[in-house]
Amino acid sequence: MNGNKRPDTMERITTLELANAFIDEQVAELRAQIGDKKVLLALSGGVDSSVVAALLIKAVGKQLVCVHVNHGLMRKGESEQVVEVFGKQLDANLVYVDATDRFLDLLDGVVEPERKRKIIGNEFIKVFDEEATKLEGISFLAQGTIYPDILESDGVKAHHNVGGLPEDMQFELVEPVKLLYKDEVRVVGDALGLPHNMVYRQPFPGPGLGVRCLGAITRDRLHALREADAILREEFEIAGLAGKVWQYFIAVPDTKSVGVRDGKRYEGWPAIIRAVNTMDAMTATIEEIDYSVLHKITDRITHEVEGINRVLYDLTPKPIGTIEWE
Ligand code: XMP
């Protein structure tokens, strides 16, 4: 049978019992496949790679080497959580690379969105390759490929970040969740004891905050964006919207307007709230957030975030607006 085809008889994993049965089966298979060899995984902290990491840690422990590249465009607290959960709590073999300066230096002055994406994607591969080259005796490369990736593409993880390993490196692939749908990956992640906010996190583009810090990225505006985004997420959590709205974030354009703070003229950037619902990201509708929630978010962002003096709410559905601004 084709190993990339989900068998018709395979039951949808919806309960803890089914997830545990899947985990037991996978742990045995992974041990048989990997033996005493080493496995490499690019761990972004997203749902799929996190679940694959947790499965492999359970199966082969320190034979797994996780590499987390912080490109400086993560949301507030994300890289820290990867280090906390995988490095400390699960005691994984974790290589943490803070490549923030490399990415931001390369992006300095770059305005064009496609060029920004390309720079981020290429540099990610370069940093990961450099780390992979330093490691010895790696036989396998693990990937968080899930079933929709196989259905929608040629079996290569869509938007995957690990595409350009050095040509002389020949790895066999390990893809333990490749027959699972996203909801099943989440049930398995729950069963593996991963934090709720990691397992149920909203989609986040590979280039991260890089496509939300509009135009040429500067460190001060990126910092303001990250802080404002963290406030939005906190307030959505408090208002019970976090599990309900499909994707929500802040974008900060490279434009300033005049304002007043503490009786003085205060020029700042606007923070634009985007909060959308969709099935497949091809079309999207706007979440109708209560004004009281919007007022609270506005109040907090304008008072707590240096450099922001206005908050706007983007009411544009997709089409005509895309979900991201870039
Ligand atoms: P748009 O902006 O095209 O976005 O309406 C649709 C969905 O795709 C996400 N997105 C990306 N995901 N790499 C990714 O992994 C990317 O470069 C990228 N660009 C957009 C976006 O967040 C939304 O969920």
Whether this prediction's pTM lies above 0.75 is answered by yes
As a whole number, mean pLDDT of residues 279-296 equals 97
Rounded distance from Cα 266 to ligand 1 centre (Å): 33
Block residue for tokens 């034979």: 63
The SS3 of residue 135 is coil
| Residue 300 in contact with ligand 1 by CB distance below 6 A | no
Summarize pLDDT for 78-87 with one digit per residue, the tens.
999 999 999 9
Summarize pLDDT for 306-317 with one digit per residue, the tens.
999 999 999 999
As a whole number, mean pLDDT of residues 158-172 equals 58
Q: How confident is the model at residue 160 (pLDDT cuts 50, 70, 90)?
A: very low
Domain ranges across the chain: 16-199, 212-313
Name the DSSP class of 175. -
Pairing label, strands 308-313, 269-277: parallel
Q: Where are the beta strands (DSSP E) in 71-168?
A: 93-98, 138-142
As a whole number, mean pLDDT of residues 216-243 equals 98
| Residue 208 in contact with ligand 1 by CB distance below 6 A | no
Q: What is the pLDDT of residue 7?
A: 95
Q: What is the pLDDT of residue 167?
A: 58
The CATH H-level superfamily of 16-199 is HUPs (3.40.50.620)
What share of the chain has pLDDT > 90, as a percent?
92
| Atom 6 of ligand 1: nearest residue by CA position | 281
φ, ψ for residue 116 (rounded to 5)? -60, -50
**Amino acid (1-letter code) at residue 59:** A
Q: How confident is the model at residue 129 (pLDDT cuts 50, 70, 90)?
A: very high
Q: What is the pLDDT of residue 168?
A: 60
Long-range Cβ pairs for the range 102-110 (8 Å, 24+): 102/127, 103/71, 103/72, 103/73, 103/210, 104/72, 104/217, 104/219, 104/222, 107/210, 107/216, 107/217, 108/216, 108/217, 109/216, 110/216, 110/217
Residue 268 and residue 308 in contact, taking contact as beta carbons nearer than 8 Å: yes
Residue 211 and residue 116 in contact, taking contact as beta carbons nearer than 8 Å: yes
Summarize pLDDT for 180-205 with one digit per residue, the tens.
999 999 999 999 999 999 999 999 99
Round to whole Å and give the CA distance between 103 and 210: 10
Round to whole Å and give the CA distance between 199 and 250: 21
Atom of ligand 1 nearest to the CA of 322: 5
Rounded to the nearest integer, the mean pLDDT of the chain is: 94
Determine whether domain 212-313 maps to CATH 3.30.930.10.
Answer: no
Name the DSSP class of 74. S
For residue 152, is pLDDT > 90? no
User: Can you give the length of the chain in residues?
Assistant: 326
As a whole number, mean pLDDT of residues 244-254 equals 98
- Among positive and negative, which fits the CA dihedral 65, 49, 67, 230? negative
Atom of ligand 1 nearest to the CA of 325: 2
The SS3 of residue 219 is helix
Block residue for tokens 């990225």: 217
The SS3 of residue 249 is strand
Atom of ligand 1 nearest to the CA of 211: 19
Q: How confident is the model at residue 169 (pLDDT cuts 50, 70, 90)?
A: low
